[in-house]
Amino acid sequence: MAFVTTAEVCDANQDLIRSGQLRALQPCFQIYGRRQIFSGPVVTVKVFEDNGLIRQFLEEKGNGRVLVVDGGGSLRCAILGGNPVVQAQNNGWAGIIVNGCIRDVDEINGCDIGVRALASHPIKASKKGLGEQRVPLSIAGTRICDGEWLYADTDGILVSHIELSV
């Protein structure tokens, strides 16, 4: 997907858009990390102001996957920071989408990984490990399920039931 934009994917797949098999997230995310273009199979996590489950996933080998985190849209603390993002980069994750806040922005911006989040916030989240994993999420006006494919670039974020080729 490195040379194909999300706009081109949309243009080439109008039938999938009409059928709901290809969906665009509402444009509410800020772009972080050095990798502005990324794609991969989705792994979902749902938490609220707690990053224990997020850290557990990012300790695993990513194998080019994208972690999609529904943090409930909370703007009261950061559920992702620099250390787990460095670990994700080292473990081969393609990207992380956070429906919530991140912190350690300068450190994250130095990492070769794609990160999208609503905003940055200096207060850290709790680490109790509470939440749900591999569940359907509804973020940015879009339903996202574990195992779907995500495509992100500077134009936006797409989710598809299947891996796409243009």
Annotated binding site for Mg(2+): 104
Q: Which residues are annotated binding-site positions for substrate?
A: 81-84, 103
How is residue 54 written in tokens? 């997020």
Which residue ranges make up the annotated binding site? 81-84, 103-104
- For tokens 């997230």, name the residue: 25
Q: How far apart are CA 9 and CA 115, in angstroms?
A: 20
Report the distance separating Cα 37 and Cα 95, nearest Å. 9
